[in-house]
Structure 1
Amino acid sequence: MIQKAATVAKMETEIRAAIVGCGSIAQVHAACLDRQKGIKLTSVCDIRKERAEEIARRYGAKVYTSLEEMLREEDLQVLHICTPHYLHVPMAEAALTKGMHVFMEKPPAMSYEEYAGLKEAAGTSKGQLGLCFQNRYNPGTLQAAELMKHGIPGKVIGGRALVSWSRNKEYYTESGWRGSLKTEGGGVLINQAVHSLDLLTLFLGKPVKADAVMANHHLKGIIEVEDMMEAYIQYENGVKGCFYATTAYCTNMPPIIELHCENMNLRIEEMRTACFDFEGREIDTGKFPVSLAKQKESMGKSYWGAGHQDCITDYYQALKEGKKVPLGIEQIKDTVGLMLAIYESARNGKEVIL
């Protein structure tokens, strides 16, 4: 594969950005862009024109119903992809082939083949691909990372992730694409809990094995995808991970990431990291010789996390300075590979070696 040059050109003038896909998450992206200096949301695109018009009126953008037309007519530098899952990779490839920068919502891919194609397109493009794994920017995530950096918890021995959310029948039937394997690629794992899987892998290291089961408990006959995924994950150096996610719960609760370490247990929940001794007593983090991140304003629903603004800001800062973006395809390859391996294991009933 042809590799990009080591240096990336700085973007000296106002950056012209566009959004394709004008659903709920696009509203968050548009609001984040509006807060950025030197960035102009010039155009928006959606096959449902009224949705594009809603965002366009608010931010003074031009409306399109065809991505091909928007890419042809507009002099764009960055494309934000906020469309249904099955459109992510072909749209990213179309923009990257033109040398544009791309900022893509999750998931980066629905299959190994898609991931390989996206990696090839990103590796040969003059543009940079950024991935929206915004929960890496949550205060709790940053707090845990800071503690780890200073060695306070000690070596990570294992971890678990728990996601308990609620998605009803209408969430799927009224979308036109959710609930279908062809267009969504999966259910609770690929659409909701991939962020928690990403954080688990961020702290536990490189995954080497996955053994998983999945089920559809509460929407049988309505959706083709899972509403429950459970996985036992083995990471390098004997680190163990347990993952459980469901959208069959009665409400939406904040995800929980727990890390069992040599010196203490860490719990990332409700936008903060709490530390506990092995008797379950909370440890006063104010006594640690580090300054932990404070809670930031949430962009979107509270249980999503608060990291969109910082994730998008970091992406554009890298473009402006001519640096490689902080969350590209290499930085999330372990998460994507693990997600696809979990699906493979659950569908085939066999352990998968990564």
Structure 2
Amino acid sequence: MTRKAVTVAEMETDNGNKGVLRAAIAGCGSIAQVHAACLDRQKGVKLAAVCDIREERAQGLGEQYGAKVYTSFEKMLQEEDFQVLHICTPHYLHVPMAETALAKGLHVFMEKPPAMTYGEYARLKEAEDRAEGQLGLCFQNRYNPGTLQAKKLMEQGIPGKVKGGRALVSWSRNKEYYTESGWRGSLKTEGGGVLINQAVHSLDLLTLFLGKPVKADAVMANHHLKDIVEVEDMMEAFIRYENGVEGCFYATTAYCTNMPPIIELHCENMNLRIEEMRAACFDFEGRELTGENFPTTRTEQKEGMGKSYWGAGHLDCITDYYRALKEGKKIPLGIPQVKNTIDLMLAVYESARTGNEIELAH
């Protein structure tokens, strides 16, 4: 089905002002604060409404940005005039809300994860196929300076062919993080732990550079909150990719603090590492390669929003999405662009739960 992207010229606010896209946010937790701040910096975009079942959270965000406040998602859809919905709710609401909004003709920008199960994933793709609105996914770490710099280096051929890769995430999540949320820690409402909630961005970057995954062999464990949550705090996976490259993935939330994720590519000429906001090249003895031969390893700094280890790509990711809507173009980051990551995430969980190596269907 050919989608019709609604342009700014076709938009009209309830005040009769043409050229303004009106947005709404469902879910007013910490990540919604980042989305609202990004929307506030978009020309031709107005945050019209916010919604949360906790009225005090919706009220706080609404007052800060001059948006109308709702405690009912259904009521906001029925009463408010807007064109783009940002979904910042708990995981189990992502797909149902996206289905409802897309069926109503809205554009949707969704926080991770796109889906918790194969069934939800199929429903989301079906809803997108039927929709005229465009479904954008927030994989903001693709816009981090280090990621962009690594892509540039690879395009220039400086590191050489990728021979393997690894991703390492070491974060900390305590008991209160789960018990005070009302939904985290439950397979039914969160869908999983460290992989689906924290480390999916690192899995995405590993796959962005290594290609199409074909097999996954994984194990998971709950080391430090056994009597508190149902979900894993450790996930380890060995991944085979279509081009013969192999990747290793390790993520934990049982560490004592939150450290920047590391993505490292072992290439023909050197090792290329993405850590924090920079990409750096190392020889095979571990010495960083610097000087005039590596001018592109120096990265510009970007303003981060939210927690520092979330990266600094939210503003660019959201700006890119709205630029496409305004220009009537196809959005740059939706299901087709992150299909490999979603397929791999679900396969890793299946492998860890069954104890079998899983071959991905394509």
On whether the aligned pair clears a TM of 0.5, the verdict is yes
Instruction: Report the TM-score range of the alignment, normalised by the length of the smaller protein.
Output: over 0.9
CA distance in 2, matches of 1:36, 1:30: 10
Pairwise CA distance, 1:11? 1.9
Percent identity, please.
79
Q: 1:269 aligns with which of 260, 272, 275?
A: 275
What's the CA shift string for 1:258-303, capped at 9, x where partnerless? 0000111011002100100112111116524758641200011111
Please list every run of 5 or more consecutive structure 1 residues that lacks an aligned counterpart in the other structure: none
CA distance in 1, matches of 2:118, 2:321: 25
Alignment map for 1:300-315 (pairs within 5 Å): 300-315=306-321
Partner AA of 1:10 in structure 2: T
Pairwise CA distance, 1:237? 1.5
The equivalent of 2:229 in structure 1 is: 223
Partner AA of 1:164 in structure 2: S
What's the CA shift string for 1:159-212, capped at 9, x where partnerless? 000000000000000000000000000000000000000000000000000000
The equivalent of 1:123 in structure 2 is: 129
Pairwise CA distance, 1:108? 0.1
Task: Indicate whether 1:209 and 2:215 are aligned.
Answer: yes
Pairwise CA distance, 1:8? 2.9
Partner AA of 2:127 in structure 1: A
| 1:124/1:293 CA distance change after superposition, 3 Å | farther
The equivalent of 2:13 in structure 1 is: none
Partner AA of 1:36 in structure 2: Q
Partner AA of 2:123 in structure 1: G
Partner AA of 1:323 in structure 2: K
Alignment map for 1:36-47 (pairs within 5 Å): 36-47=42-53
| 1:272/1:344 CA distance change after superposition, 3 Å | same
The equivalent of 1:65 in structure 2 is: 71
Q: 1:11 aligns with which of 8, 11, 14?
A: 8
Pairwise CA distance, 1:19? 0.1
Pairwise CA distance, 1:152? 1.0
| 1:290/1:272 CA distance change after superposition, 3 Å | closer
Alignment map for 1:121-160 (pairs within 5 Å): 121-160=127-166
Please list every run of 5 or more consecutive structure 2 residues that lacks an aligned counterpart in the other structure: 10-18
Would the aligned equivalents of 2:141 and 2:205 in 1 still touch at CA under 8 Å?
yes
TM-score, reference length from structure 2:
0.95
Partner AA of 1:193 in structure 2: A
Would the aligned equivalents of 2:278 and 2:297 in 1 still touch at CA under 8 Å?
no
What's the CA shift string for 1:123-170, capped at 9, x where partnerless? 111100000000000000000000011111111110000000000000
Would the aligned equivalents of 1:213 and 1:346 in 2 still touch at CA under 8 Å?
yes
CA distance in 2, matches of 1:306, 1:226: 27
Q: Which runs of 4+ in 1 moved over 3 A?
A: 288-293
Would the aligned equivalents of 1:4 and 1:124 in 2 still touch at CA under 8 Å?
no
The equivalent of 2:334 in structure 1 is: 328
The equivalent of 1:167 in structure 2 is: 173
Would the aligned equivalents of 1:146 and 1:292 in 2 still touch at CA under 8 Å?
no
| 1:286/1:323 CA distance change after superposition, 3 Å | farther
The equivalent of 1:236 in structure 2 is: 242
Would the aligned equivalents of 1:4 and 1:125 in 2 still touch at CA under 8 Å?
no
Would the aligned equivalents of 1:211 and 1:351 in 2 still touch at CA under 8 Å?
yes
Pairwise CA distance, 1:9? 3.7
Supply the RMSD in Å over aligned alpha carbons: 1.1
CA distance in 1, matches of 2:296, 2:228: 50
